[in-house]
Structure 1
């Protein structure tokens, strides 16, 4: 779940006197030349209020579906690469996910800002440079890591990691250059190879690396195809801080995935991944609806009090949508300890149910994190995202009873989810007053 930052808008608290003439957009920032004082007349609000086109009223649903389809690219690559993944040690995919997901979050955040000011080519160049640095770091790690961490075949571990990073770079470039629909089509070969692998029809061999490279080249088309070069603008301090916050968010999310995966029953990943995969499309749509409604309130609000009331109503509905993952996760965690004592394979069954609970709670924490970040509280979102891995690292040193890694991970995620719901309720107050005429991304 990667949030592509949209342009949030603010309006000032003024009377409903409108200046007639010029046709200047209500929220325009374009400077106009000095002109004689305009005639001020009283105009009814419906005459001058800017209405959105009906065709865009559900655009957030289309964007959510498109992003989910885009995320199927990395998942299909992982499914098609099941055989080589089984031949490397478990740190290889986890470290690849850690490096790639953290870089994808940070570069998406900063790349969108660069794309607005300098165009898609400059943004794609920044994403390519960032992932090139990450790829170099991965090569260095494979070179110095012991064989117990990467497996007997270092070359295979190197290729597996580079393939995963290339796939995440493709998704990131598609987001910052607004080419999601095109990249989804170019990732269809990866989907087909994943289906072939899951059906156990025949080995994909070198077809998978070829499909990854083809999609990668298409994603970076703005810099692959010769054209007018533009200088990449320097990021300001606020953009760098926001990018750093998303870097922490991405790294923390990858660590959480690793914690639940490694704490779960060995050789069983379906209970953990299933609720997470099912929750992503719903939560993406919920976040898109929330941000859309908050932005729409800028056009509908008559004054600051109306806008604050509108945001509080939207936040209340969003909280209702965020409660089911928490409730289902808690119910599954409690049910895991209510299984009959004489049930064969009780330990594995209990671990499987706890894995389901962990995946459900993890999806809710992801949604809360992105929602808070989309509301402009990147620091708070980074704090929420980093709370589970930091707590899991501190728990062994505390004089507290422990039921095992998986129950501890589920308990930490439940506490984080609950705290996140409280944070969402507290940010019902808009981040900026309507008196502030700045525009933030």
Structure 2
């Protein structure tokens, strides 16, 4: 979901940057004192560090993708209850939960570095407790047309969705992704049972969600220390605010493309997203890893800038296929034979595939910019599609419908993001020392 921030630009000025220890920056356990390495040990340690780094980003990307399957499996297992509530219920749940997850992951990672995993998990729990209270208030005051005939069912669905997103966030800030994925296997099994139409899951799904929530927040439950909860610094709050805008904008984009599709059909829209997420996660992890490894493998700022420039060019080559495929699908939708049976539905499905592909590319560009400390640019880019979609009805421009307009806006945003990444050849600015 979010990538931990890299080292500052000032590190490029150091004359001795090669490190023997490959300790990850998120590690909270102090290392014992070691004697200075010999020159032979230094030369032998650098290739080993590179090999470990190349394996670590792939493992981290796959682990995050497996972690994201938890909320998806819960949504699949809850297909029957979701059909009995109004469509704003899942969309508002996604909006609140995804925005909170982005912001709390960003600030929670920083708190974990300073105060430990228990404080970070407590920070996430308090944040989602506030979001849960907001959801309960919304269900209480919303008209029945917005929540459906069963207000209690809408409340439970929202709580389940927020709970699953809270587990993902807690796992990321406490570095317990593997354990949470393992404890999410019952949710996967319930989703498979639901898709196979073997039998209704009933109350098994809420029980499975509760079990995962307890495991994700285990540091809070088992922590025996009573200490003051650390507060986020102003710099962390600003960065978290940027991620809050990113998460809210992404959720709104998902809702726009989903509702603009044929009768709210989600299958064509989700397919390219599900296929693109693992590849794009690995690409972003590789990019950030290569940029940071350049601090260890280059001797001066000029060499480091050339290294970052080369990494950016390769990253652009990886970000171009979603844009090219999305544009090709959008053009193909308008070149279908006029006499094709069910032309309107077929065209809408192809446009849905194009929208999902372009949206996945916009997500990747946004996260890449945020990981390189361009949080303000990333937030602006993420907010551009929903802001443009809201302004289109008031502009004197021709409109082909909600779905074609959404695809056009996403294509323009993706292209703008690629141009921004193309100029992102300089190292990221140093973090605020506040």
How does the TM-score come out when normalised to structure 1? 0.90
Structure-2 residue corresponding to 1:115: 112
Structure-1 residue corresponding to 2:88: 91
- What is the CA–CA distance in structure 2 between the aligned matches of 1:425 and 1:253, rounded to whole Å? 22
> Against the structure 1 CA distance between its residues 423 and 440, is the aligned structure 2 distance closer, same or farther, given a 3 Å change threshold?
farther
Structure-2 residue corresponding to 1:426: 423
1:248-295 CA-partner distances (Å, limit 9, x unpaired): 000000000000000000152110000001000000000000000000
Higher mean alpha-carbon deviation, 153-162 vs 228-237, is at 228-237
More helix, by proportion = 2
Structure-1 residue corresponding to 2:29: none
- 1:168 equivalent to 2:165? Answer yes
Structure-1 residue corresponding to 2:33: none
> Against the structure 1 CA distance between its residues 48 and 271, is the aligned structure 2 distance closer, same or farther, given a 3 Å change threshold?
closer
- 1:368 equivalent to 2:369? Answer no
Corresponding residue to 2:344 among 340, 343, 347: 347
In the TM superposition, what are the counterparts of 1:73-152 in structure 2 within 5 Å? Answer: 73-152=70-149
1:388-420 CA-partner distances (Å, limit 9, x unpaired): 000000000000000000000000000000000
Structure-1 residue corresponding to 2:177: 180
SS state at 1:379 partner: helix
Structure-2 residue corresponding to 1:211: 208
Structure 1: gaps of 5 or more residues: 29-42
In the TM superposition, what are the counterparts of 1:15-26 in structure 2 within 5 Å? Answer: none
- 1:263 equivalent to 2:266? Answer no
Task: After TM superposition, give the deviation of residue 91 of structure 1 in Å.
Answer: 0.1
Task: After TM superposition, give the deviation of residue 231 of structure 1 in Å.
Answer: 2.4
SS state at 2:262 partner: coil
Q: Is the 8 A contact 1:4 1:108 kept in 2?
A: no
- What is the CA–CA distance in structure 2 between the aligned matches of 1:185 and 1:368, rounded to whole Å? 30
Structure-1 residue corresponding to 2:3: 4
- What is the CA–CA distance in structure 2 between the aligned matches of 1:112 and 1:146, rounded to whole Å? 38
Task: After TM superposition, give the deviation of residue 14 of structure 1 in Å.
Answer: 5.4
In the TM superposition, what are the counterparts of 1:219-298 in structure 2 within 5 Å? Answer: 219-298=216-295
Q: Is the 8 A contact 2:258 2:264 kept in 1?
A: no
Structure-2 residue corresponding to 1:319: 316
Task: After TM superposition, give the deviation of residue 45 of structure 1 in Å.
Answer: 12
- What is the CA–CA distance in structure 2 between the aligned matches of 1:266 and 1:141, rounded to whole Å? 26
Structure-2 residue corresponding to 1:397: 394
Task: After TM superposition, give the deviation of residue 426 of structure 1 in Å.
Answer: 1.1
- What is the CA–CA distance in structure 2 between the aligned matches of 1:381 and 1:105, rounded to whole Å? 13
Structure-2 residue corresponding to 1:40: none
Task: After TM superposition, give the deviation of residue 52 of structure 1 in Å.
Answer: 4.6
- What is the CA–CA distance in structure 2 between the aligned matches of 1:104 and 1:303, rounded to whole Å? 38
Corresponding residue to 1:193 among 168, 190, 194: 190
How does the TM-score come out when normalised to structure 2? 0.92
Structure-1 residue corresponding to 2:31: none
- 1:408 equivalent to 2:405? Answer yes
Q: How many residues align?
A: 418
Q: Is the 8 A contact 2:54 2:286 kept in 1?
A: no
> Against the structure 1 CA distance between its residues 283 and 25, is the aligned structure 2 distance closer, same or farther, given a 3 Å change threshold?
closer
- What is the CA–CA distance in structure 2 between the aligned matches of 1:272 and 1:24, rounded to whole Å? 44
1:370-400 CA-partner distances (Å, limit 9, x unpaired): 0000000000000000000000000000000
Task: After TM superposition, give the deviation of residue 44 of structure 1 in Å.
Answer: 11
Task: After TM superposition, give the deviation of residue 56 of structure 1 in Å.
Answer: 3.7
- What is the CA–CA distance in structure 2 between the aligned matches of 1:266 and 1:304, rounded to whole Å? 55
SS state at 2:161 partner: helix
Task: After TM superposition, give the deviation of residue 51 of structure 1 in Å.
Answer: 5.3
Task: After TM superposition, give the deviation of residue 431 of structure 1 in Å.
Answer: 1.9
- 1:357 equivalent to 2:354? Answer yes
